[in-house]
Amino acid sequence: MKMTRSWDRAFLHKGLGVRRILILAILSGGIWAFVQLDLNPADLVPTSGGVQVAWAFFSRALSPAIVYEAEFVPSDTPPLLWKALQAAGTTVVFASAAMSLALIWGLLLGFLASSSWWVGDPAGGAGNVTAFVRRSIAPVVYGSTRVLIAFMRSIHELIWAVLFLAAFGLSHLSAVIAIAIPFGGTLAKIFSEMIDEAPRDVAHAFRGSGASATHVYLFGLVPRALPDMTAYSFYRFECALRSSAILGFFGYPTLGFYIAASFENLHYGEVWTYLYTLLVLVILVDWWSGALRKRFVV
């Protein structure tokens, strides 16, 4: 096949050896994991009790509850759908409060962690103190910022929540901060990478016209990375919604709380109602970010 030769060369020839090794590594890793966890496919067949639960649960997927399934409902309880909406609202409130904090931290730390801001001017002034400080202090600053970011990221939001729960007791603010810490770290990491990877031609041109390092960074590098940064923030918002829903399992009044409660009361129809509410939220944000990206990146 003559037509295939160019891509054949580009994609197959060089990568094959490494690729083979990677596939082997992944597969043997998988086998190791299955053996280690004692994962027996036979266990996938649910126990008889499990079958009942599974059937009772999944059969309600197409008929989520519209009214409460409990026999006795206190008279002052709002209707189920209204309650689902309220829970969705709380989920959004927690998520967006957390994201607003995370964005602030992300932008600040991302700024400190990106090396482009610190890159010295190759033709900088002679024997200049600021230039010297910038050159010697910079690695310390962005190095330690990166360590901080890694620490923030490496602990899952639920574990932060557990830590805060132990440290402060149940407080809505601690749930928000629990989400905001790892999310801020992730945003900072990705932001700094996006800024560092943005083309440098503009930065050089700005520097050539005498702009200061801060100006070069803010107006030469950041605007180029901004569309990507926005898109990524939206994606993280979607993740924040999920995390905020999960926090309900720890007693906060988000969707997870009601899902767990209804599931434990065997009100599977209600579970599906809440699940679908979450689904709609996530799809909405997904669609929104997609629509925005289409307008941003032409």
Q: Enumerate residues 13-72 that contact another protein by CB under 8 A.
A: 14-15, 17-19, 22, 26-27, 29-30, 32-34, 36-40, 43-44, 46-47, 50, 53-54, 57
**Closest separation in Å from C-beta 195 to another protein:** 13
**Closest separation in Å from C-beta 79 to another protein:** 21
Residue 170 lies near another protein (rule: CB under 8 A): no
- Binder to another protein among 83, 141, 172, 261 (CB under 8 A)? 172
Residue 93 lies near another protein (rule: CB under 8 A): yes
- Binder to another protein among 78, 143, 208, 290 (CB under 8 A)? 208
Contact region with another protein (CB under 8 A), list: 71-79, 108-116, 136-144, 279-287: 279-287
State which residue, 58 or 73, has the beta carbon closest to another protein: 58
**Closest separation in Å from C-beta 99 to another protein:** 7
Residue 179 · residue 98 · CB < 8 Å: yes
**Closest separation in Å from C-beta 81 to another protein:** 19
Residue 206 lies near another protein (rule: CB under 8 A): yes
**Closest separation in Å from C-beta 258 to another protein:** 12
Contact region with another protein (CB under 8 A), list: 73-81, 105-113, 135-143, 274-282: 274-282
Residue 131 lies near another protein (rule: CB under 8 A): yes
Residue 275 lies near another protein (rule: CB under 8 A): yes
State which residue, 136 or 154, has the beta carbon closest to another protein: 154
**Closest separation in Å from C-beta 176 to another protein:** 7
Residue 265 lies near another protein (rule: CB under 8 A): no
Residue 82 lies near another protein (rule: CB under 8 A): no
Range 76-111 burial, b when 16+ CB lie within 10 A, else e: eeeebeebbeebbebbbebbebbbebbbebbbebbb
Residue 108 lies near another protein (rule: CB under 8 A): no
Site residues for another protein, 217-256, by CB under 8 A, read: 218-220, 223-224, 226-227, 242-243, 245-246, 249, 256
Give the 3-state DSSP-derived string for the chain, with helices as H, strands as E and coil as C.
CCCCHHHHHHHHHCCHHHHHHHHHHHHHHHHHHHHHHCCCHHHHCCCHHHHHHHHHHHCCCCCCCCCCCCCCCCCCCCCHHHHHHHHHHHHHHHHHHHHHHHHHHHHHHHHHHCCCCCCCCCCCCCCCHHHHHHHHHHHHHHHHHHHHHHHHHHCCHHHHHHHHHHHHCCCHHHHHHHHHHHHHHHHHHHHHHHHHHCCCHHHHHHHHCCCCHHHHHHHHHHHHHHHHHHHHHHHHHHHHHHHHHHHHHHCCCCHHHHHHHHHHCCCHHHHHHHHHHHHHHHHHHHHHHHHHHHHHCC
Name the nearest CA neighbour of 99 among 207, 195, 181, 198: 181
